[in-house]
Amino acid sequence: MKKWISHSKVEGKASRQAHTNLPEGTFEREMGKEGFFGPATHFYHQHMPTGWTDFEGPLQPRAFDTTKLDDNVGSPWQAAELLSNAHCKFRCWHSDGKMDHLVRNGDGDELLFIHDGAGELFCDFGHMSFRDGDYIMLPRGTMWRIESDGPVEMLLIEATNSSYMLPEKGLVGPHAIFDPAMLDTPEIDDAFRAQQGEDEWKVLVKRRHQISTITYPFNPLDAVGWKGDLMPVRINWRDIRPLMSHRYHLPPSAHTTFVAHRFVICTFTPRPFESSEDALKVPFFHNNDDYDEVLFYHAGNFFSRDNIHPGMMTHHPCGFTHGPHPKAMNNAFTPKTDKTEEVAVMLDTRDALDVTEAAEKIEWTGYVDSWKPKN
């Protein structure tokens, strides 16, 4: 048995309720454990916690522009790997939309997020259409391919040696955020049956980050039926109904969509701003000292960030304070609109992520300076 060394105390000039009623002229910073789930302390500073004049070393916040990837390729195993650790691989695939082979991931479940484009996905379980904003979770070992009339841009997030699951939703119950009944699954329909045949097909299997090629004299997607409770699922961000509080700014963990071993996936979707006058309307400054934080910006206006457009991604290594840019802090309590407009995918990993050479080639090196006050 173990227990946190923890008891609540208020020292000096402080708010009794986090993220609201900040002492005049102060900036709130949260220092916590377990990615907003553990004990935490809130500090009230006279200066903005991100007001550095210089920042050198590997803890620098970094930004990358995936729109600058020049790699239209036909297979997900050729996709640019941008970030990785022992439990997660984060890749960006600019597909030409036409796969002439099947693939299978033997290293872990695969999560696809469709950033741009639409088309058809065929797999062991049948056929499903996809569009921009779809998440598609493919269990480890699933054979699949996509077919599209145009290019498709997507994220591929591998749960290495792990499985994707749904988060526990606690007091709000299992139907909050999205009802599991909203998860679509592949169908053995006319389109699936039409692609079956006796032509030769190759399956490129990834295992231990090496590729094996298996050749069949027929299309191995030849199932006539199946039963069970293991299957691919699809949900679009437009079907997510975010948790909200009109009097309190909820932490990112409230927007968790999928969980895997040692990382989580969260989805930020449009929602009304907090209406209580004393409540913060922007993310609070925080030390995320247990997780690396990655944000992929999919669509909309990113209200807490400057100079960020769809297709960009940011990486905040654990161990330093971060939060809204200075421009966003001007509207910390009085937003210019009545709701957020951003759609973003967040990856929070318990283990440090390594940045690849492919990511460094598309890096915006000025990101670390974007917190500096503008004169």
Task: Give the residue numbers of the binding site for homogentisate.
Answer: 322
- Amino acid identity, position 45: H
3-state secondary structure of 355: strand
Q: H helices within the chain, ranges in order? A: 190-194, 326-329, 357-360
Torsion over CA of 66, 70, 71 and 72, rounded to 10 degrees? 90
Residues 6 or more apart whose CB falls under 8 angstroms from that of 329 comprise: 27, 48, 282
Q: How many CB atoms lie within 10 A of CB 96?
A: 13
Is residue 263 within a helix (H) or strand (E), and if so which, with residue range?
A: strand 263-268
Residue ranges for the known binding site are: 286, 292, 322
Among candidates 330, 321, 362, 356, which has minimal Cα distance to 59?
321
The catalytic residue positions are 249
Taking the mean position of all CA atoms in its chain, how far away is CA 231? 21
Contact 349, 262 (CB under 8 A): yes
Contact 151, 188 (CB under 8 A): no
The CA distances from residue 285 to 173, 249, 271, 277, 309, in Å, are 29, 12, 20, 19, 22
Q: Beta strand 27-32 with 285-288: parallel, antiparallel or unpaired?
A: parallel
Residue ranges for the known binding site for Fe cation are: 286, 292, 322
How far is the C-alpha of 206 from the C-alpha of 257, rounded, in Å? 26
Number of DSSP helices (H) and strands (E) in the chain, helices first = 3, 24
In sequence order, what DSSP letters do the residues of 275-343 get, joined into one string?
A: -STTB-SSPPEEEETT-EEEEEEEES--TT-SS--TTEEEEE-TTSEE---HHHHTTSSS-SSSB---E
